[in-house]
Structure 1
Amino acid sequence: MTYPQTKLALHRLVTDGVVPGVSYSFIDGDRVETGVIGQAALVPQAEPLRPGMLYDVASLTKVVGTLSVVLQLLAQGRLHLTDSVSDWLPQWQDSRVTIQHLLTHTSGITGYIPHRDQLAAPELTAALLQLHVGPTFNRQMVYADVNYIFLGWIVEQILQQPIQAVAQQRVLTPLGMQHSTFTPTNAEQCVPTAITAERGVIRGMVHDPKGLVLQRRCGSAGLFSTVADLTR
């Protein structure tokens, strides 16, 4: 058995009730070992975790989808690290912020949007573009969804398609990630993410509030994937 201590730690997460279940993949050179432990859901009734279930992988959308597409465009010379965000998104007023700042979360973009999760997509888009640059600009890495939301909109400007459609065409399909999707059609095949007062059990729909509003134009969240696809 490989990585026995890590497996024991994963089992302990489940037996201690930290998480209902775990899907894992160990990649060691050419060897891959996957497994599942525990439950997919606890309410309304317990449901065992099954191999091949889809997870809302949330911010892995940034890494798998948006980053991969941006790196392709950089390699093709259609985008440059030194490009100002305002060159591509004229509504953004601070010309100091570049593609590199967005990629590395050093943009310093900050600000409060009142009732953000209740806004419709056009209003949320406008509000995000009215945020400002704070004191951490180019000095400190501060992780923020807005960086990759902006990158998604810049990709859309270049390729004239929403970022999630581009990620499907340029990343998921070519890599053979055939179970990965932004629009799951079978909620029962998805692992639930949360229970909220407003939405009840969230299953088969994106959990991220901005992802829920922006839908196909969100480069920061929205991807559903399996352990096998992520391993690939």
Structure 2
Amino acid sequence: MIRVIISVILAVAFLISCAEQEETSNKNSTAEQVLQEPDSTAYFDSVYAPYQVSLDTFFLNKHKRSEFYGTVLFAQRGRVIFENIYGYADLKTKDTLTIDHTFQLASASKPITAVAVMQLVEKGKIHLTDELHQFFPQFPYDGITVEHLLNHRSGMSQYTHFCDSPDSIWPDKHKTITNNDVIAVMNEIVPMVNYAPGQTHYYCNTNYMLLASIVEKVTGMSFSEYLTKNIFEPAGMTSTVLYRRDNEDELILPAKGYNGAFNPTIDIYLNGVVGDKGIYSNVHDLLNFDQALYDGALLDDSTVQLMMQDHNELQSNGQNYGFGFRIYPAESTDGLGRIVFHTGWWKGFRTYFIRVPDEQKTIVVLTHIKRGAFLDIRELVSLIKDL
């Protein structure tokens, strides 16, 4: 009898042991499955951790050398790989810089201006072949089209030059100049052109100033109102504002701009001109803008693809230009793939908005102190090459 009882006890113990081993095995299998599941948080944490360390080291080393101050964000398929801040928002008050601080995008505003124009093209309110006389009857140049403005083939001069010269028709450099003022100046003095329309690519801020004014003419809205209603709100860009020099109180957590000597930059009269610059935004809002271009919230995919096509001859630096985007063709990137981007510089601010469409990688770097060399676009992409 005792032997029977002992046998039963041993059998029960064995069964319990097997059950525990099976449960442990199932837990391990579940854990391994989670780590292998591409959409799981655990998977991304395990894959991205080494990149987070290397990315932080890259920017931290530049910050320690007083070469980098700002915010950074790296993402893939809309998921943030890495984000961080380096420095202060205000050097005098030592206010802490946050990931939500907004920066003057400078020329990185141009992709947003181009999207605004292409929305109206999709609606049939603007045609790429429309000449500027259709919007500005007194405009002094013939043969310049909307497409010439978008891809910088108008041949016109920089408004920042002919308005800013000492003998300019705009002598009071304390009085804000607007888009309408610049157009009036052009009508009166007829600045020299560099090339005939369509002859060659010549990057010119005047082009995108005029595009913003065309949006206003066609819609009857201010450029700020149009962007807010048709781009910022649909894309979820809740902290993004178009700055016109008279609306500083509307800016949301703006970082101050500084020159290379750490002196605050001056808010000059040219800040009243928009389209080529003027948008304040942060890294999260620009990621939202990037994702809105993928999911059709702003434009049809065919239109986005048209904007990212090469619309010019390949330049000596290996770049091309589409509609509102600079482009490194795949053959210029040493295995990094096609890179679509725009950079900006204006009064201490340097900005980088970078997309690798084939892999849906996004990089946003916003700086507000003019220190060190410009960051290399291909080097930034190479930091996450193997993802």
TM-score using structure 2 length: 0.51
Deviation for aligned residue 1:186: 7.1
Q: CA shift at 1:56, angstroms? A: 1.4
Structure 2 residue 182 is the aligned partner of structure 1 residue 124: yes
1:148 counterpart (208, 211, 214): 208
1:211-231 deviation per Cα after TM superposition (whole angstroms, max 9, x unaligned) = x234xxx21222111111111
Deviation at 1:60, TM superposition (A): 2.2
Cα distance, 1:97–1:45 mapped onto 2, change above 3 Å: same
Partner of 2:264: 201
Shift of residue 126, structure 1, vs aligned partner: 1.4
Between 24-33 and 124-133, report the one with greater CA deviation: 124-133
Aligned to 2:254: 190
* Inter-partner Cα distance in structure 2 for 1:187 and 1:195: 21
Q: Secondary structure in 1 aligned to 2:62?
A: helix
Question: How big is each residue's C-alpha offset from its partner over 1:95-124, in whole Å with a ceiling of 9 and x where there is no partner?
Answer: 211101000011110163334572544543
Specify the code of the residue in structure 1 equivalent to 2:77. Answer: G
The whole-number CA distance in structure 2 between the counterparts of 1:201 and 1:108 is: 34
Higher mean alpha-carbon deviation, 3-12 vs 154-163, is at: 3-12
Structure 1 residues 34 and 91 mapped into 2: Cα distance closer, same or farther (>3 Å)? farther
Structure 2 unaligned spans of 5+: 1-48, 289-387
Q: Which amino acid aligns with 2:91?
A: V
Q: 2:281 — aligned with what?
A: 225
**CA drift at 1:30:** 4.3
Partners of 2:74 and 2:83 within 8 A in 1: no
Alpha-carbon distance, 1:35 to partner: 2.1
Question: What is the aligned-residue identity percentage?
Answer: 21
Q: CA RMSD in A?
A: 2.8
- Does the residue aligned with 1:27 lie in a helix, a strand or coil? strand
Q: In structure 2, what is the Cα distance between the partners aligned to 1:47 and 1:39?
A: 9
My pick for the range that moved more, 146-155 or 36-45, is: 36-45
1:70 matched to which residue of 2? 117
Does 2:106 align with 1:58?
Answer: yes
Q: How far, CA to CA, are the matches of 2:248 and 2:106 in structure 1?
A: 14
Shift of 1:68: 1.3
Q: Which residue of 2 aligns with 1:173?
A: 233
- Are 1:213 and 2:276 an aligned pair? no
C-alpha separation between the residues in 1 aligned to 2:65 and 2:74?
22
d(CA) in 1 for partners of 2:241 and 2:157? 30
> Contact 2:73–2:84 at 8 Å: present in 1 too?
no
The 1-side partners of 2:125 and 2:103 are apart by: 33
Note if 1:24 corresponds to 2:72: yes
Matched, 1:10 2:69: no
Q: Does the 8 Å contact 1:38/1:48 carry over to 2?
A: no
The amino acid across from 1:213 in the alignment is G
Q: 1:26 to 1:61 in 2, by over 3 A?
A: same
2:105 maps to amino acid: V
Distance 1:139 1:8, change over 3 A: farther
The one-letter amino acid paired with 1:100 is E
**Count of paired positions:** 220
Give the whole-Å Cα distance in 1 for the aligned partners of 2:102 and 2:182. Answer: 28
Which of 130, 139, 157 in structure 1 is aligned with 2:217?
A: 157
From the CA coordinates, give the structure whose radius of gyration is larger: 2
Which residue among 113, 126, 139 is the counterpart of 1:79? 126
Contact 1:208 1:221 in 2 (8 A): no
Between the aligned partners of 1:213 and 1:186, the Cα distance in structure 2 is 15
- 1:140 deviation in Å? 2.7
In 1: Cα distance, 2:67 partner to 2:81 partner: 23
Q: Is the 8 A contact 2:89 2:97 kept in 1?
A: yes
* 8 Å CA contact 1:41, 1:191 repeated in 2: yes
Relative contact order, higher structure (CA 8 A, sep 6+): 1
* SS of the residue 1:36 aligns to: strand
